[in-house]
Chain A
Amino acid sequence: MANNYLLARASLAGIALAAAPLAYSGPGAIRAIVVGLFLLTGPGGAFILFIGVERMQTALGNRLAPLLLSLTMALSLAIAALSATIMLYVHWWNPSFAAAALAFLSLGLLALGIRKPGPRRTYSAE
């Protein structure tokens, strides 16, 4: 199980690292795929891993994969949409910067998530 989360962290970090420069320029199809994949999974995935899904799994029951994956996708889309909307309302439209900033924010959350203490054992089962 721990390996799964390590793999998820590494994958998200890889996508975020690639998306930051590609948000400014890069080869057509690869740029679209990486940025699209990042906006679909990056910010939400980083948030979910930051708050500690291992502990949520213990507290909320073990069969949470569909919800966590859904939440990753929905949160990513929501955060990206809200970032873009805020830029429009403050009249500062810079999508490449926003995508790169979200990538670095995601990397930060992923790094902070690693440094947080491991699973506590005080949570009651569902």
Chain B
Amino acid sequence: MSLTGSVDDSSPVTLVQRDGVPRRARDRVPRSRCIALALIALVAVVLGVNALSEVDARNIGEFGLIGALPTGYFVAVGLSLVGFVGSLALKRDVPALLGLQVLVLIVILHGADPIVHGLPRLEASYRHLGIADYIAQSGQLDPTIDAYFSWPGFFALLAMFSEASGLHDLTAIATWAPLGVNVLLMLPLLALASRLTSQWRQAWAAIWVFYLASWVGQDYLSPQSYAFILMIVLVASLMTAFVGWARPVARNKFTSRWRSWVAFLDPTIPRFPGGTGLSKSAGASLTVACAVLVVAITASHQLTPFAVFTVGVALLAIGRISIRFLVPFAGILAFVWLVVVAEPYWSGHINQLLGSIGAVNSTVSKAFISRISGSEAHVLVVAARLVESGLIIVLAVIGMVVAHKRRTPWLTATAGAFAPISLFLLQPYGGELFLRLYMFALPFAACLVVVAFMPKSTRQSLGWVRATALVVLGGLLATTTLITRYGNDRMENFTTDEISVIDELYDKAPEGSIVIEALHNTPWRFQQYAAYKYITLLPAQAQPVASRLTCDTVNKIAGHAGAYLVVTKSQQDAADALGVGPAGSIPDFLSDCSKDPKWSAVYQNGDGVLFHIEGENLGK
């Protein structure tokens, strides 16, 4: 069984092979060439992993991981790129070889965090572990704690796995999640790309570009990565099992003209009402399967159901999916969940939710302008992200034009890539909406990006010029992604010493204590999620003055009962990179406050310090 399905692949030449008759001699791929390409992949992965394991995390500078990587790593990336393009240049698809090449790229490019640091990336990973732990221990949801408990599906799954498997510490799962999530995404991406493209080369190249350009780093242990995988599978399933227009479009003039217009733009879209030949029972079973995916997505993440809805509406509008019930179901369910199940969340954030509807200027400002601040290195990283995203958009637009001229599929990928942009009308999503939109759009956009690099048909060879251009594109994207994805490495990753500080906190602070972080970038809450009163002095956002960072503020928070304050290296790195307060504000704050008689450092190591602040009564 082969691993792609596309228009050219259903040509008589391929069908002959399926029926058991050997391919024509000219389509045979020499075994020696396959072995050579597989060896290139193996050398690349050994070199790459070895190079990453040699990285000393202490040498990671303000531009992130790229400055600490040894030469061997770049050789490994180069070999991986050449190996993939070499496999793509073969006369026919060898799925095992192409899959191996993509897997090697995933390990080298997206496995850096676990290999270099050996700990979960991002403070959110630790919080997510804490929520799963809370659910596993208590078997309860408390939506008053935070929004996560209003969309508990993913955390319930983690908790269920933790309890049923006896694996109560999921730190290793969180550490290796970036690699695991990307590996799990590979087949869904291939299934989707196979439905969006006309050649096996284009489908595989699209997946390759996806991994090369995926800088958003939302692949940690999170509800969004889980929901994203389900969303890709859902869209691929709908486009496979429910093909064509949902209604007879010749009923009135408008729909008839619309169909003609769509057919003019993209002649590959089916002209007539759908029907795959599935029996009623098989169709009903697949509908149930898709509905289960929709419900699981809705129960797990706030934003993804709306992305599913917008993409579904776009695909319905261009006659690419024929199922009528599922798209409105997804929209209504997302809305009902928000209004009914997540009531404890929205009732406390009603102004935040409704106030931003239609406020596009504010959303754009939070997504772009407010993020271009901080240290010079951080501004460069943000700028590189914008440039890389811009490059993908430009190449996708070129791909649209080329595909239209060649009369190959492009409109479906375009609809999928651009539909989620309408979410900009809703709300800024904490300033992260641009990241999420890029993530939702990339699987579709990648199919367009590679069009200009593909021959007109599968039967034509890739050729030296296109192959060289692909290697150059791959090199450019890989290098940029090393900056855009790993540029914030110093503040996104943590050290074992920092974790030791947090372990000491949980060891020393009695349950119910007030625990404070100087800046919102602490690897805590992975246990005792609701057993303490967690307080943050400064958000991880640019601000010229750090007004809350004074001894008096902390003393007031400590009040009569006392409190514990955690300050870590990553907090200081984040403050420096993001421009939170004047330079050196955290060391100055510590220097001043440590002289206060109520303050005592109860634990300290090279990467962090834990203070106990006595309550007023005890201090007198």
Contact = CB atoms under 8 A, between A and B. Distances in A.
Interface of A: 1, 4, 22-23, 25-26, 28, 31-32, 35-36, 39, 47-48, 50-52, 55-56, 59-67, 69-71, 73-75, 77-85, 87-89, 91, 93, 95-96, 98-99, 120, 122-126
A99 B160 contact: yes
Contacts, number: 187
Interface residues of B, number: 62
B184 A73 contact: yes
Contacts of B166: 25-26, 28, 31-32
Interface string B271-311: 00001111101100110010011011101100000000000
Contacts of A87: 139, 156, 160
The 7 closest A-B pairs by CB, nearest first: A93-B139, A63-B5, A78-B296, A84-B156, A124-B277, A95-B163, A74-B233
Contacts of B278: 56, 59-60, 123
A82 B292 contact: yes
B282 A23 contact: no
Nearest to B164: A99
Contacts of A125: 277
A78 B292 contact: yes
Contact of A95 (B141, B164, B190, B281): B164
7 contacts: A22-B165, A32-B167, A64-B240, A78-B296, A80-B161, A82-B299, A84-B156
A95 B249 CA distance: 49
* Chain A binding surface SS class: helix
A120 B564 CA distance: 69
A59 B276 contact: yes
A81 B299 contact: yes
A81 to B, nearest CB: 4
A65 B276 CA distance: 17
B1 A88 contact: no
Contacts of A55: 279, 282
B235 to A, nearest CB: 11
B473 interface: no
Given A47-B289, A95-B136, A66 B3 contact: yes
Contact of B161 (A36, A50, A56): A36
B296 A82 contact: yes
Given A73-B233, A98-B164, 10 more contacts: A39-B157, A65-B1, A74-B230, A75-B289, A78-B292, A78-B293, A78-B296, A81-B157, A82-B296, A96-B163
A87 B136 CA distance: 12
Contacts of A35: 161, 164-165
B4 to A, nearest CB: 6
